[in-house]
Amino acid sequence: MRFKSPTFNLHIFTKHKHMDLSTLAQTLTLHRTESPAVANADDSLCSETTETSPPEPSLKKESSFFGSPDEYLNREARIEKSWSYWKNLGEPKLIVAPMVDNSELPFRILCRNHGAEAAYTPMLHSRIFSENAKYRSEEFTTCKEDRPLFVQFCANNPETLLEAVRRVEAYCDYIDINLGCPQRIARRGNYGAFLMDNLPLIKSLVEKLAYNLHIPVSCKIRIFPDLQDTLNYAKMLEDAGCSLLAVHGRTRDEKDGKKIRANWAAIRAVKNELKIPVLANGNIRHMDDVKNCLEQTGADGVLSAESLLENPALFAGFKTVDQGDLVVEYLKLCEKYPVPWRMIRSHVYKMLVEWFRVHPQVREDLNKQSKLTFEFLYDMVDRLRVLGVTRPLCEGTVSEEKDGGQASLCRELGTGVET
Q: E strand or H helix at 264, and its extent?
A: helix 264-273
Cα-flanking dihedrals φ and ψ of residue 327, to 5°? -65, -45
Q: How many residues does this entry show for the chain?
A: 419
| Whole-Å CA distances, 297 to 86, 271, 279, 319 | 19, 7, 9, 24
CA distance linking residue 240 with residue 217, whole number of Å: 10
Cα-flanking dihedrals φ and ψ of residue 70, to 5°? -75, -30
Which residues have C-beta within 8 Å of that of residue 104, sequence separation ≥ 6?
121, 122, 141, 339, 343
Contact 10, 168 (CB under 8 A): yes
Report the relative pairing of strands 217-222 and 8-9 from DSSP bridges: unpaired
The catalytic residues are 181
| Whole-Å CA distances, 141 to 113, 145, 361, 407 | 18, 12, 35, 27
